[in-house]
């Protein structure tokens, strides 16, 4: 008989979740990081090394040997630049290292992406910046385990080179204007407005006579747009 999998036990086991952060980070560091995530405050550089160390130790315990800044360029796919935790000092032994600087920022070559091809070669650099609002996670494959760090991807001068940066900036713009409206209505306690997206659920009542004239509604239950197919097929 095959082993029964308990989904509740394995759910999120490969993600650096809030539970993991609470267990592995000092209370003061955890509090500052949560403030950054919840209220959109700037990340305190002084806690970056501590967070990076905790993230590295957790990843190594799960078999990870490499880390990558994981981002969504304009190709419609994801991209990764892998680096190893392994560092080789002069004594012939190896140690596992991961600094706060390596966590916060990366510098992949942007010239191979659509946005990079539009600029001169010397301007085609791209920078990845850690998005701490999305949890880091482990990606398992046939060749090993990699710590994936969600990041935004932009140019030296700040232009968005990915699909996530415009989303984050839009969320910030919505937050600022929503808070402005709340203040006009007398709400002085709200600190942040977080937009959410999900499946849209709308229901429409259609007169039966009109419904019977709509083959798209009869056959598919939805409105279809398009041209007639060749030869009416």
What DSSP line would sit under the chain, residue for residue?
-PPPP-HHHHTTTTB--HHHHHHHS-HHHHHHHHHHHHH-PPP-GGGHHHHHHHHHHHHHHTTEEEEEEEE-BTTSS-EEEEEESEE--TTS--EE---HHHHHEE--BGGGSTTGGGS-GGG-B-EEEE-TTS--EEEEETTEEEEEEEEEEE-TT--B-BSHHHHHHHHHHHHHHHHHHHHHTT--S------------------HHHHHT-HHHHHHSS----PPPGGG-
Token couple for 12: 């999120």
Cβ atoms 59, 84 nearer than 8 A = no
Lowest mean pLDDT among 36-50, 170-184, 206-220: 36-50
Residue burial 217-229, b: 16+ Cβ < 10 Å; e: rest:
beeeeeeeeeeee
Predicted pLDDT at 75:
82
Q: Is the pLDDT of residue 83 over 70?
A: yes
Predicted pLDDT at 122:
58
CA atoms of 22 and 30, how far apart (whole Å): 6
Predicted pLDDT at 231:
64
Q: How confident is the model at residue 114 (pLDDT cuts 50, 70, 90)?
A: low
Domain ranges of the chain: 7-161, 163-196
Q: What CATH number labels 7-161?
A: 3.10.20.70
For the full predicted model, state whether its pTM sits above 0.85: no
CA atoms of 202 and 210, how far apart (whole Å): 19
Q: Terminal CA-to-CA distance of the chain, rounded, Å?
A: 51
CA atoms of 179 and 172, how far apart (whole Å): 11
CA atoms of 105 and 70, how far apart (whole Å): 11
Q: How confident is the model at residue 4 (pLDDT cuts 50, 70, 90)?
A: confident
Predicted pLDDT at 51:
95
Predicted pLDDT at 26:
95
Token couple for 225: 């747009």
Q: Is the pLDDT of residue 67 over 80?
A: yes
Predicted pLDDT at 225:
73
């Amino acid at each position: 008989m095959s082993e029964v999998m308990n989904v509740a036990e394995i759910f999120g086991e490969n993600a650096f979740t809030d539970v993991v952060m609470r267990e592995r980070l000092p209370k003061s560091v955890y509090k500052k990081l949560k403030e950054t995530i919840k209220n959109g405050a700037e990340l305190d550089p002084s806690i970056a090394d501590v967070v990076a160390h905790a993230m590295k130790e957790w990843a190594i315990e799960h078999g990870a040997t490499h880390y990558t800044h994981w981002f969504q360029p304009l190709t419609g796919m994801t991209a990764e630049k892998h680096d190893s935790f392994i560092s080789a000092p002069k004594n012939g032994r190896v140690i596992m290292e991961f600094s706060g600087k390596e966590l916060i920022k990366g510098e992949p070559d942007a010239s191979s992406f659509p946005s990079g091809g539009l600029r001169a070669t010397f301007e085609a650099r791209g920078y990845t910046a850690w998005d701490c609002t999305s949890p880091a996670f482990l990606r398992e494959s046939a060749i090993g385990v990699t710590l994936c760090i969600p990041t935004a991807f932009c140019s030296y001068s700040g232009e968005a080179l990915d699909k996530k940066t415009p989303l984050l900036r839009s969320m910030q713009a919505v937050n600022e204007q929503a808070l402005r409206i709340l203040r006009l209505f007398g709400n002085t306690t709200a600190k942040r407005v977080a937009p959410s997206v999900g499946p849209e659920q709308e229901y429409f009542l259609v007169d039966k006579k009109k419904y019977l004239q709509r083959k798209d509604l009869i056959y598919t239950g939805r409105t279809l747009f398009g041209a007639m197919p060749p030869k009416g097929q």
